[in-house]
Amino acid sequence: MLKILVRPAGPYEVNVILVWCDRTKKAALFDPAGDSERIIAEIERKGLDLRYLINTHGHLDHITENHLIKSHFGVPLLIHPLDRPLLTDPAKNLSLYAGDPVVSPDADGTLEDGDTVQIGDESLCALHVPGHTPGSLVFYQPGLLISGDTLFAGGVGRTDFRGSNEQVLYEQIRSKIYSLPEDTVVYPGHGPKTTVGEERRYNPFVRA
């Protein structure tokens, strides 16, 4: 299984997630939201070879420091094609309305439902789970799920934004996430980790 490090960062306390293959030291970083100097130092201290920068979706709080990571490591930035326009448009990524417009570098590639991200000997499967945004992605390996802002411990992503859809989000969580093994550890975009089983039974917004 992949090794995983979670660092809450930025004004929105986004969980910046670093995953790596312990044998090969190949790594991927998800949602650089802040504290990038510390995260860069951690990557270098561990001797990791960062291969990908991945956004689970295109909202401002998850893309804020894409440019810093890309410029330091020269790695490709990946996102779902439906959220790609959010990267470079402050109105679409909502930063315009927060008073501090964010313009990320454009994506170098896109990930569709079922695509595999190879990280050394390990891999993650990208699952398209729209609802919070049209192009929201989660990433699964048996035993763990990186859920972005799709599913939280006791909560779900907001659906009052342009492009959000509450009914779609609930349907997708049930079909794509609640179908995973109950002991799957879920690492969300904000807040503490949880498990699929815990959310299936007790999540007040979406139960199985």
Using one digit for the tens of pLDDT, what is the confidence trace for 84-98? Answer: 999 999 999 999 998
Residue 149 to residue 59: CA distance in whole angstroms: 10
Beta bridge partners of 186: 145, 194
- Cα distances (angstroms) measured from residue 67 to each of 17, 80, 156: 17, 18, 28
pLDDT in tens, 8-54: 999 999 999 999 999 999 999 999 999 999 999 999 999 999 999 99
88 in Cβ contact with 101 (< 8 Å): no
Residues 6+ apart with CB under 8 A from 194: 152, 153, 154, 185, 186, 188
Q: Domain 3-202 adopts which CATH fold?
A: Metallo-beta-lactamase; Chain A (3.60.15)
Percent helix / strand / coil, the chain, rounded to 5: 25, 30, 45
pLDDT in tens, 164-198: 999 999 999 999 999 999 999 999 999 999 999 99
Q: How far apart are CA 72 and CA 16, in angstroms?
A: 17
Give pLDDT, residue 134.
98
Q: How far apart are CA 65 and CA 103, in angstroms?
A: 10
Size of the chain in residues: 208
| Total-model pTM | 0.97
